[in-house]
Amino acid sequence: MSARCETARRNQPVIEKEASLYNGEVTIQRGDFGRKKHAYYWVEKGYFVPGVTSILRILDKPALLPWAAGLASKYVQDNLPENATKQQIAEVCEKAKTEWRSVRDAAGDIGTAVHAFAENLFKGIPQALPENPFVQNGVKALQAWIAENDIKIIDTELVVFSKKCFVAGTMDLLASVNGKLSQVDLKTGKGIYPDHKFQTGIYKRAWEEEAGEKIEQNIIVNLNKLNGKPKILTIDNQDEMDFHADTFLRIKSVNENLKKMGEYA
């Protein structure tokens, strides 16, 4: 295969999901488009739509710096030979710089596996329990949350898009939970953080804009991959959920201004 053909092949979009929204007037594709990974594309207009999680990445996460420094320190302690030469010290320290990436990617793989299991479970697709113990714990936490609630599935992995706010994302689960129309967001990190509230707030607003109905509550379920227990945050105050959506839009505005500053620098 020629270099040109290989480049063309790599640049072919890989569509993970396609959603027909607003009574068929809007088609949103989610997938990889060359260098744009996990992106959202508005087919009729022919341009990309900003993704919610991408926008929220600009938020400062103060715990990450000491976490990464701790991983680097541990890597050096575990891998530095006794009586190490200067060259060996330099090599170990160089690898320690990127240890956080390896840990982050492994955690991402666990989260992806738990979400995939959840999607199949919600759709009633038979599947074997994964062998990875961390994934197993995430699944146990999910099963515990399901067992403790009356859940009627409406849709899962639901692409949402707001024309007014010009943003897209993917809702983990839309369901009736204990008799209330609910959005459920599954997390596999160490806890529940403010950006999770902003994410569910804007997803709710986007879905309501298209559907013309009200979601009664946003539920964030943290699936602990260490102890297999769920931690739940339920937000059922409409004003609070609107505040979270409005906060997201302010973050989106800051993100757009930062890009403009880069253009004019």
Rounded to the nearest 5°, which phi and psi values hold at 202? -75, -30
State whether 150 and 104 are in the same domain: yes
Per-residue model confidence as pLDDT tens digits over 171-230? 999 999 999 999 999 999 889 999 999 999 999 999 999 999 999 999 999 999 999 999
Tell me the two tokens of residue 67. 């976490």
The count of structural domains within the chain is 2
Whether residues 111 and 171 share a domain: the answer is: yes
**pLDDT of amino acid 67:** 77
Output the average pLDDT for the chain. Answer: 90
CA geometry: angle 138, 141, 142, nearest 5 deg: 90
Neighbours of 225 (CB within 10 A): 24
pLDDT given for residue 4 in this prediction: 46
pLDDT for the residue 119: 93
Output DSSP code: residue 185: E
The burial class, CB within 10 Å (0-12 / 13-18 / 19+), for 32 is middle
Q: Which residue segment(s) compose the domain that 41 sits in?
A: 1-49
Please indicate, yes or no, whether residues 86 and 148 belong to a single structural domain of this protein.
yes
| Contact of 48 with 42, CB cutoff 8 Å | yes
CATH number of the domain that 68 lies in? 3.40.1350.10
Q: Which pLDDT tens digit goes with each residue over 158-167? A: 999 999 999 9
99-123 and 64-79 are packed helices; what angle lies between their axes, rounded to 10 degrees?
110
Contact yes or no for 43/27 (Cβ under 8 A)? yes
Q: Where are the beta strands (DSSP E) in the chain?
A: 14-21, 26-33, 36-42, 47-49, 151-162, 167-177, 180-187, 217-223, 230-235
> Do 99 and 228 fall into the same domain?
yes
DSSP class of residue 129? P
Predicted confidence at residue 228, as pLDDT, reads 93
Q: How many CA atoms lie within 13 A of 251 on its CB side?
A: 25
Residues 166 and 250 both lie in one domain: yes
Are 19 and 104 members of one domain?
no
From CA 99, how far away is CA 75, in angstroms rounded? 7
Looking at the fold, whether 193 and 251 belong to one and the same domain comes out as: yes
CA distances from 151 to 143, 179, 183, 249 (A): 12, 8, 11, 30
One-letter amino acid of 82? E
CB count in 10 Å sphere of residue 68: 18
Residue 228 and residue 187 share a domain: yes
**Do 181 and 126 belong to one domain?**
yes
Percent of the chain with pLDDT over 90: 63
Examine the domain organization and report whether 34 and 128 are in the same domain. Answer: no
- pLDDT (0 to 100) of residue 108: 78
Q: What pLDDT does residue 71 have?
A: 81
Judge if 247 and 216 occupy the same domain: yes
Burial class (CB in 10 A: 0-12, 13-18, 19+), 104: middle
For residue 11, what pLDDT is reported? 65
More confident residue, 259 or 235: 235
Q: Are 79 and 191 in a shared domain? A: yes
> Using one digit for the tens of pLDDT, what is the confidence trace for 70-99?
888 888 888 888 888 888 888 888 888 888
pLDDT > 70: what percent of the chain? 95
